[in-house]
Structure 1
Amino acid sequence: MSRTLRPQPLTAEAFKPFGDVIEARGQPASINYGNTQKFADLATIVAQGGRVATHLYRSTPPDYPFAIRVMENHPLGSQMFVPLSGRPYLVVVAPRGRFDPNTIRAFVAGPQQGVNLAPGTWHHFNLALGGVSEFLVVDREGPGDNLEEVTLDGSLLLEAP
């Protein structure tokens, strides 16, 4: 029997168990002789036993409803996604620890919201909406096994927002 997952709006409070929401919030500092507003310390980057690496991902949106068939986590480092294409996207996550498919949540991230997944947070690969989208991705590179995956039976269907 299938189950439907409906994405909720992404907020820092709702996403807190999974990591950080990267967006302009709080009181910015004025820098560069008043020409720049700096919103500081928005995420914690973790690269245990490795180094921080920067990548560009180009993602094609799937057809919706979309069957969730795999979830992954990175136990040794955080993983940050920052959208570059001006489109919203979906973030599918579950709490760290032993994977439980009943705890999967989905969020709609706005085009100016990034996410930083805490180490060990279960997540689906990034899911574009509205067209091919590019993301700046910051994560850990280095020795050690930093990828765990679980497969699902495909009965969990993710709706488009």
Structure 2
Amino acid sequence: MTAQPALTLEIQPLTREAFAPFGELIEASDAVQHFTINAGNTERYHDLARIEPGPDGRVIVSIFRGQPRTLPFTVQMMERHPKASQAFIPMSGKPYLVVVAPAGNPPAAQDLKVFLARGDQGVNYATGVWHHPLLALETVSDFIVIDRSGPGHNCDEVQLDTPGLIPALRS
């Protein structure tokens, strides 16, 4: 059996509208509800993501330290969390990639969307949305991860029949 050639994937900027089918964008922007608190010293960007721990789950906060990936990069697998959402909030201020596919049946390469996230943008993957594990760029990068702890299996992984190829970033 010969390996399928990789399908080249387009990298697009991460925006609230483009990411909406997969979850929520977490960022401080004028597009979200915000107001001044703490005697005028702090601007609160309010209720940015719906964290769903699922039945019998509880919300936990972890730090993931991602090793940098080199582009071009071949996407060969995807994962999903069928019981709960999972939020990634960068702490290192560096860009990273987000690869997603709609919830439901295991994805094919043509179902994948690739977003370039700025170092000040986080994402909250909706329950069941297919995504690639952390894709840090440039340097080792830390992320606050808010997800579920609880009984039952909450991570499905699939291998893609045809891999997806993320090209090098254009300068």
Query: TM-score, normalization: structure 1?
Result: 0.96
CA contact under 8 A between 1:67 and 1:154: conserved in structure 2? no
Q: Does 1:107 align with 2:115?
A: yes
Say yes or no: does 1:18 pair with 2:22.
yes
Distance 1:63 1:21 in 2: 24
1:66–1:159 contact (8 Å) kept in structure 2 = yes
Unaligned runs of 5+ in 2: none
- For residues 9-48 of structure 1, the aligned pairs below 5 Å read 9-25=13-29, 26-48=32-54
Instruction: Find the residue that maps to 1:82 and give its secondary structure.
Output: strand
Q: Secondary structure at the match of 1:16?
A: helix
Residue matched to 2:97: 90
CA contact (8 A) 1:68 1:154 kept: no
**RMSD, matched Cα:** 1.2
Any stretches of 5+ residues in structure 1 without a counterpart? none
Please, what TM-score do these two structures have when normalized by structure 2?
Answer: 0.90
Q: How far apart, in 1, do the equivalents of 2:90 and 2:168 lie?
A: 18
2:76 corresponds to: 69
Task: Tell me the CA shift for residue 160 of structure 1.
Answer: 3.2
1:139 aligns with 2:147: yes
Local SS of the residue matching 1:20: strand
CA offset digits 1:109-134 (Å, max 9, x no partner): 01100000000000000101111111
Q: How many residues align?
A: 161
C-alpha contact (below 8 Å) 2:33/2:46 kept by paired residues: no
Using the TM superposition, give the Cα deviation of residue 154 of structure 1 relative to its aligned residue in structure 2, in angstroms.
6.0
What per-residue deviation string (whole Å, max 9, x for no partner) do you get for residues 77-109 of structure 1?
100000000101000000001123121100000
Give CA-to-partner distance per residue, 1:45-101, whole Å, 9 cap, x none.
000121101110111112221111110000111000000001010000000011231
> Secondary structure of 1:14's partner?
helix
1:56 counterpart letter in structure 2? I
Task: Give 2:85's aligned residue.
Answer: 78
- Aligned-partner residue type, residue 9 of structure 2: L
Q: Structure 2: how far apart are the matches of 1:92 and 1:100?
A: 11
CA contact (8 A) 2:94 2:141 kept: yes
In structure 2, what is the Cα distance between the partners aligned to 1:70 and 1:93?
11
User: In structure 2, what is the Cα distance between the partners aligned to 1:99 and 1:83?
Assistant: 27
The offset of 1:36, in angstroms, is: 0.5
Using the alignment, how far apart are the partners of 1:125 and 1:160 within structure 2? 18
